[in-house]
């Protein structure tokens, strides 16, 4: 069920990016903004931070950072990383996938030991063939689309890693994300482990950028 919800949310975001007369950049994709109807069909909500721009343009200009700490794309915090585009929503969706898969539980975003930064931990586990089982997977170890079994959890983790690449140009569009989610996990390639994710600049909770985003988040809450 959780996997189907993730796929449904991906379809909704893809529609926002390419199915309307204007591109809609949501800018606040997170669990609280994915609502479910009586049939558990996901609906994307809360467009208070959304940005509209013409379909013939690829990037937008933001005067202030916006989003939710821990889910916001790094280029929104630090413009030196890249221009803001629909790939910012892709990043947030990738973090949402990690949340659904449960692979970020108990992991800190930034420590001196890079293996504790959960994307690095996921990279290392997958590349060593150790899998990424956790307590949720052991409780709900059903290898189908109705549970978070081994292959489903691994699929979401791999797709999530593609989505949260630091460089927005390296992230797939939502149409490709959907293709990967609907593919067999054995057909998916784990992206290269980056040499640096710029966590000191983007995610250090003592940084000026992080404090600035935190104050913005509080002011719009």
* Mean per-residue pLDDT, 102-118: 51
Q: Which residues contact 143 (CB under 8 A, 6 or more apart)?
A: 149, 150, 151, 152
Whether the pLDDT of residue 34 is over 50: the answer is yes
Tens digits of per-residue pLDDT, 128-174?
Answer: 776 666 534 443 443 444 445 678 888 999 999 999 999 999 999 99
Which tokens sit at 96?
A: 């949402």
Residue 147 main-chain phi, psi, to 5 deg: -140, 180
Q: What angle do CA 177, 180, 185 make, to 5 degrees?
A: 145
* Mean per-residue pLDDT, 33-61: 92
Out of 21, 28, 144, 192, the active site residue is: 28
In degrees to the nearest 10, what's the CA dihedral of 187, 145, 39, 102?
-90
46 classed as catalytic: no
CA nearest to 31, candidates 95, 106, 103, 108: 95
The domain limits of the chain are 2-220
Give me the CATH topology for the region 2-220.
Transferase(Phosphotransferase); domain 1 (1.10.510)
pLDDT band at 66, cuts 50/70/90?
Answer: confident
Whether the pLDDT of residue 210 is over 80: the answer is no
pLDDT, the chain, mean: 78
């Amino acid at each position: 069920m959780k996997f189907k919800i993730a796929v449904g949310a991906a379809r909704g975001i893809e529609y926002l990016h390419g199915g309307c007369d204007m591109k809609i950049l949501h800018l606040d994709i997170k669990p609280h903004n994915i609502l479910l109807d009586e049939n558990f069909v996901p609906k994307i909500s809360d467009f208070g931070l959304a940005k509209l721009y013409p379909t013939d343009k690829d990037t937008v200009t933001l005067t202030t950072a916006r989003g939710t700490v821990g889910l916001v794309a790094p280029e929104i915090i630090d413009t030196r990383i890249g221009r803001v585009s629909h790939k910012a929503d892709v990043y947030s969706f990738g973090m949402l996938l990690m949340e659904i898969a449960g692979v970020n539980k108990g992991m800190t975003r930034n420590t001196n030991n890079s293996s504790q930064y959960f994307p690095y931990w996921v990279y290392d586990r997958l590349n060593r063939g150790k899998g990424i089982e956790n307590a949720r997977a052991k409780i709900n170890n059903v290898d189908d689309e109705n549970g978070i079994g081994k292959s489903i959890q691994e699929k979401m983790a791999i797709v999530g890693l593609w989505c949260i690449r630091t460089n927005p140009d390296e992230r797939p569009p939502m149409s490709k994300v959907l293709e990967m989610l609907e593919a067999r996990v054995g057909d998916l390639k784990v992206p290269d482990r980056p040499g640096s994710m710029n966590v000191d600049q983007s995610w250090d909770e003592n940084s000026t950028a992080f404090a600035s985003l935190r104050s913005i988040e509080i002011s719009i809450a």
